[in-house]
């Protein structure tokens, strides 16, 4: 087998093997638009491509160093690590973060775990002190009937769906520029209100501009009395559906618009022929009400998906001294960013 950098003409072959939206060729184009350097790599056996993945390098401002990431990529093996190490050295990277799109455990409703048969070999890597994605997610099985999906939900979630329908909350898919602008406005308002750190408005606009023609992003809106109360951006890739972004107004909460919006999003996934719906992250099986993000965790939990744990986040360290310094600085940087977000909320 050989691994090499792919040409633009091999885009379709590359995408045919990709299983997660942020590994697609188009997502790489978006990363490039943000000033990052992207390598698309193909693994070949007897001149046939059998595996593919992207690694992106983000320059550290005012330095000659970079950080590499392979997020939601394939299973890691020694050949992959060897090739990435060479590229990382050429890019003067301090480390490369690996976060495979591979499940490790599942949990039933009582919290009992089942370890899945997966190779957990990460050669010469360290468990990362910082994750990019939540290590857990709820996965809804879209091959179930609507009746079975409703049956799997928490009774309170089913009840809130009925409330939203009684109030006449309207749901529509608006996967066009106008729908995106409505969604973006709500997203900015939501993150300011809740004190979250948000990428810039231009970041989201460029993301939409880059992906909208691919059919990956879908916009869903929930309205009550002609006012949009909730908006989701969903991703579809092949037979998988994802919920990466959501926003809602802090008014008319009694009509339960976001609850119905999520249910209709699940039904949209079925309509589009998807087999599963990844809710893009949640807390673990022992989540506590005092934990940050518990509200979102509980909201997603109500839809009866399978709580699943990914294999984890690992760092391939290229420069040990700078790696330690980077993590220390980054820890305090994020504290400042979160404090800034909270101050903007006031």
Helix/strand/coil percent split, the chain, to 5: 40, 30, 30
Please return the burial class of 179, using the count of CB atoms within 10 Å of its CB with bins 0-12, 13-18 and 19+: buried
Q: Helix axis angle, 25-33 relative to 201-211, nearest 10°?
A: 150
Q: What are phi and psi of 108, to 5 degrees?
A: -85, 180
- Token pair recorded at residue 77: 């093996």
Q: Tokens standing for 328?
A: 């220390």
Question: What is the CATH code of the structural domain delimited by 2-102+312-345?
Answer: 3.40.630.30
Tally of residues, the chain: 346
Q: What number of other Cβ atoms are within 10 A of residue 325's Cβ?
A: 12
Burial class (CB in 10 A: 0-12, 13-18, 19+), 47: exposed
Query: Given this model, what pLDDT does residue 106 score?
Result: 97
**CA distances, 65 to each of 21, 26, 59, 71, 99 (Å):** 27, 25, 6, 20, 21
pLDDT, one tens digit for every residue, the chain (346 residues):
899 999 999 999 999 999 999 999 999 999 999 999 999 999 999 999 999 999 999 999 999 999 999 999 999 999 999 999 999 999 999 999 999 999 999 999 888 999 999 887 788 899 999 999 999 999 999 999 999 999 999 999 999 999 999 999 999 999 999 999 999 999 988 877 766 667 889 999 999 999 999 999 999 999 999 999 999 999 999 999 999 999 999 899 999 999 999 999 999 999 999 999 999 999 999 999 999 889 999 999 999 999 999 999 999 999 999 999 999 988 877 666 666 655 555 5
Beta bridge partners of 173: 220
Place of tokens 């997610």: 137
The CATH number of 139-309, from 3.40.50.620, 3.40.630.30, 3.50.50.60, 3.40.50.300, is 3.40.630.30
pLDDT of residue 158: 98
Q: What's the pLDDT at 189? A: 87
Can 2-102+312-345 and 139-309 be said to share one CATH topology? Answer: yes
In DSSP notation, 29-98 reads: HHHHHTT-EEEEEEEEETTEEEEEEEEEEEEPTTSS-EEEEEET-----HHHHHHHHHHHHHTTEEEEEE
Per the CB < 8 A criterion, the answer to whether 139 and 278 are in contact is yes
Residue with tokens 């039933």: 108
Give the span between the Cα atoms of 211 and 24, in whole angstroms.
10
Amino acid 195: pLDDT: 63
- The three-state secondary structure class of 275 is coil
**What pTM was computed for the model?**
0.93
* Domain locations in the chain as residue ranges: 2-102+312-345, 139-309
pLDDT of residue 120: 76
Q: What is the pLDDT of residue 336?
A: 64
């Amino acid at each position: 087998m050989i691994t090499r950098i792919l040409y633009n003409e091999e885009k379709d072959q590359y995408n045919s093997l990709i299983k997660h939206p942020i590994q697609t060729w188009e997502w790489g184009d978006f990363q490039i638009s943000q000033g990052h350097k992207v390598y698309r790599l193909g693994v070949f056996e007897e001149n046939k491509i059998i595996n593919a993945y992207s690694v992106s390098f983000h320059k550290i401002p005012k330095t000659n160093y970079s950080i590499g990431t392979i997020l939601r990529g394939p299973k890691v093996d020694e050949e992959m690590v060897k090739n990435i190490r060479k590229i990382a050295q050429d890019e003067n990277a301090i480390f490369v973060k690996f976060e495979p799109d591979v499940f490790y455990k599942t949990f039933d409703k009582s919290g009992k775990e089942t370890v899945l048969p997966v190779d957990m070999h990460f050669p010469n890597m360290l468990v990362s002190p910082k994750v990019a994605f939540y290590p857990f997610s709820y996965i809804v099985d879209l091959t179930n009937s609507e009746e079975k999906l409703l049956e799997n939900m928490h009774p309170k979630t089913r009840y809130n769906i009925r409330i939203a329908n009684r109030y006449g909350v309207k749901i529509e898919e608006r996967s066009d520029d106008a729908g995106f602008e409505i969604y973006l406005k709500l997203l900015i308002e939501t993150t300011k209100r809740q004190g979250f750190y948000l990428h810039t408005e231009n970041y989201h606009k460029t993301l939409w501009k880059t992906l909208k023609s691919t059919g990956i992003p879908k916009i869903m809106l929930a309205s009550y009395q002609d006012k949009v109360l909730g908006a989701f951006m969903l991703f579809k890739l092949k037979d998988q559906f994802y919920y990466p972004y959501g926003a809602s107004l802090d008014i008319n909460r009694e009509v339960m618009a976001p609850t119905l919006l999520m249910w209709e999003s699940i039904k949209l996934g079925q309509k589009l022929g998807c087999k599963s719906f990844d809710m893009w992250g949640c807390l673990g099986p022992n989540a506590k009400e005092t934990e940050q993000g518990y509200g979102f965790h509980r909201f997603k939990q109500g839809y009866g998906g399978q709580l699943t744990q990914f294999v984890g986040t690992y760092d391939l360290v290229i420069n040990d001294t700078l790696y330690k310094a980077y993590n220390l600085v980054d820890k305090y940087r994020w504290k400042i960013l979160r404090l800034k977000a909270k101050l903007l909320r006031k």
